[in-house]
Amino acid sequence: MARSSRFIALACFTSFITLGACSRQDGREMATPTDIQIAATNTTVAPSTSEGDVAGDELPVVEAEPALMTLTAPFTDGAVVSAPFVCGDATQSPELTWTNVPAGTVSLALILTDEDAPDDVHWVVANISPSLTGLAAGTLPSDAIQAKNSKGAIGFAGPCPPEGSTHQYSLTLYALDQMLEFANGDDGTAMGEAISASALDATTISFTA
């Protein structure tokens, strides 16, 4: 409980009689501050800074990763494929679409490979315009070129493993940094090697037939 001025005055008067002196500090007058108190009031506290807010520092610029090139076929990656995409039913190339062709691409290429019989040539096609976003089933741009397949014909030969067995296949879209100097019916292995050597990017659908 706070003390009243009358109580303080009475206490001072009693002390004055006894001791001969009394200093009135009844809350109405401020005592003279000491040197230590003055020094404390003159101390300046630097404002805090948030983490990373340091003079001369710059926040790192984070660049977005380019979107990955994608390839879409009538069957999904990892699928087990059956008719009409194998053997006698596979008379034409499947419908394909793709996205996110990287900047700097000059041409596109496609290779269908039997991973269990890689020497077989199923489909090697190059010099597809990068402005295209897909191919309808059984179609190809007039300026594209196709290698001779293992059946002796130019163009597409569908996946067809030996009877009673299954093989792993891959269908790969390549983004190339050049047009290839080949002609229709050229060797598929040589064309495939040139495609791999010129590739900027590639995306693959793997399947079993």
pLDDT of res. 46: 46
Domain 73-208 is found in CATH 3.40.50.720: no
15 or 77: which leads in pLDDT = 77
**pLDDT given for residue 17 in this prediction:** 34
Question: 75-120, pLDDT tens digit by residue?
Answer: 999 999 999 999 999 999 999 999 999 999 999 999 999 999 999 9
pLDDT of residue 61: 73
Q: Average pLDDT for residues 48-60, to the nearest whole number? A: 55
Class of residue 179 by CB neighbours under 10 A (exposed 0-12, middle 13-18, buried 19+): middle
Within 10 Å of residue 113's Cβ, how many Cβ atoms? 22
Q: Give pTM, 2 decimals.
A: 0.70
pLDDT computed for residue 63 by the predictor: 73
Cα atoms found within 13 Å of the Cα of residue 199, Cβ hemisphere only: 17
The structure tokens listed for 39 are: 């020094």
Average pLDDT, rounded, for the chain:
81
Nearest to 156 by CA among 135, 180, 130: 135
Task: Write out pLDDT tens, residues 111-158.
Answer: 999 999 999 999 999 999 999 999 999 999 999 999 999 999 999 999
Residue 109 structure tokens: 């290429």
